[in-house]
Amino acid sequence: METLANIPRPHYLKKILPYVNSGLIKILTGQRRVGKSYILNSVEQEIRRQNPNANFITINLEDYTFSHIIDADALHTEIMANYSSDRKNYIFIDEIQEVDGFEKVVRSLNLDSRNDIYVTGSNSAMLSSEIASKLAGRSIEIRVHPLSYTEFLEFHSFSDSDISLDLYLRHGGMPYLRNLPSHETWMEYLTGISEALVYRDIVSRHSIRNNDFLQRMMLFLADNIGQIFTAKKIADYLKSQRIKGTVTSVQTYVDYICEAYLINRVRRWDIEGKKYFEIGEKYYFEDLGIRNAIIGYRPMDIGGLLENVVYNKLISDGNEVKVGTLISGREIDFIAEKNNERRYIQVAVNVNNTSTADREFGNLADISDNFEKIVVTLHDSAPNTFDGIKLMSLRQFLTES
């Protein structure tokens, strides 16, 4: 079987390769196990092809071989032991957030034009604070996501079909699923990964003692994807389940979950007033397979799953995404902006009944500007347009370039 390292994910290579030898530190961020290491390896192989006489230093901080690297001094010592003073040094460091004070090392190394630096990380708060405060202007951040639907088809050699789409909605886009022998083993793997992610990147990192509170919050978020919530509403629900926790603790724990890239927080935008609402947000899982491993795959959840997969497509394509609110209080599921273009998107299982069609099309029709407006449904629908609003099946939407 072809290994994951042989599948380059060109979407990301096209983002990274233009910055080779640019003098910027390349930082690949994202949830653990989404394929950052394989992308890093693909970048390294491409650079080796172009510059075979250069010096390559590769450090994977999840490898026990490098377990002695726990601080900046140890990291610097390891790099300098393999350093070349008369050749170009390409330096690759995987899961760099494991090293306390890593930013001092990469910032120092980046001062020398002989060095070209690439790192990955799985904690957004730690990386973002260091990027903003100490690496600003010297780095470029590339967010890596689980496989898109089209990548999922390529990785598994599937054709685009309703069966393939169902597998994607059930199991998500974790790349390693390709190496497992059967679909029956996929959920077992995802359950193990979700438990490891929660423990390693949340419980252990933040020394959490109220693990039951965290687990109930994860279940609540998994059960309510695409719903608007405040920290108080979540705290009130947990209290009704006899789980003790304050609004502050809810806010803190949600931040931890977002920092580990398990879920994404989406703010609400007042379309007419052109400003963000201060309270009330939506949450979507970075990977639906992880979500389903937490709470199970249930057909009754299909509406939320559709919203989640559309959101994931939008952010994977590089859009800035917001939830829209009209002056009447009605909602636009997504406002997606990229390259000064905007799209308004509504998501529905179907628009076969009049009330649903009136709601989904009517909300979009009430927006006065001329940007593209789309309704995405699970399966093919007719007609293809309605008063200038495009109607697309989910498969059409997920496979558009």
DSSP 8-state assignment for residue 71: B
pLDDT at position 2, please?
43
**Residue 115 C-alpha from the chain's centroid:** 29
- 5 pLDDT more than 60: no
pLDDT at position 331, please?
92
Q: What is the CATH number of the domain that holds 42?
A: 3.40.50.300
Nearest residue to 110 (alpha-carbon basis) of 81, 70, 140: 140
Tokens of 240: 């009704």
CA distances from 4 to 118, 146, 168, 242 (A): 19, 13, 18, 45
- Clarify whether residues 130 and 153 are in a common domain: no
Q: How far apart are CA 32 and CA 337, in angstroms?
A: 27
Mean pLDDT score, 201-229: 89
pLDDT at position 131, please?
62
Q: Which domain holds residue 22?
A: 4-143
**pLDDT per position as a tens digit, 331-385:** 999 999 999 999 999 999 988 887 888 888 888 988 988 899 999 999 876 667 7
- 130 pLDDT more than 70: no
**Least confident interval from 85-99, 192-206, 310-324:** 192-206
- Clarify whether residues 13 and 52 are in a common domain: yes
Exposure string for 106-135, b = 16+ CB within 10 A, e = fewer: bbebbeeeebbbbbbbbbbebbeebbeeeb
Mean pLDDT score, 315-338: 93
Nearest residue to 204 (alpha-carbon basis) of 195, 217, 191, 216: 195
pLDDT at position 351, please?
86
- Clarify whether residues 118 and 219 are in a common domain: no
Domain end point (choices 116, 143, 170): 143
- 161 pLDDT more than 70: yes
Residues 6+ apart with CB under 8 A from 196: 32
Determine the residue type at 22: S
- Clarify whether residues 84 and 168 are in a common domain: no
Tell the residue number behind the tokens 């491993």, with chain if given: 293
pLDDT at position 1, please?
37
pLDDT at position 84, please?
97
- Clarify whether residues 169 and 284 are in a common domain: yes
- 127 pLDDT more than 90: no
**pLDDT per position as a tens digit, 222-268:** 999 999 988 888 888 888 888 888 899 999 999 999 998 999 999 99
Domain end point (choices 112, 143, 174): 143
Q: How many domains does the chain have?
A: 2
- Clarify whether residues 103 and 225 are in a common domain: no
pLDDT at position 138, please?
86
Mean pLDDT, all residues of the chain: 90
- Clarify whether residues 135 and 170 are in a common domain: no
Q: How far apart are CA 195 and CA 170, in angstroms?
A: 18
- Clarify whether residues 80 and 197 are in a common domain: no
**pLDDT per position as a tens digit, 61-71:** 989 999 999 99
Tokens of 216: 């109930």
**pLDDT per position as a tens digit, 344-356:** 999 999 888 878 8
Determine the residue type at 354: T
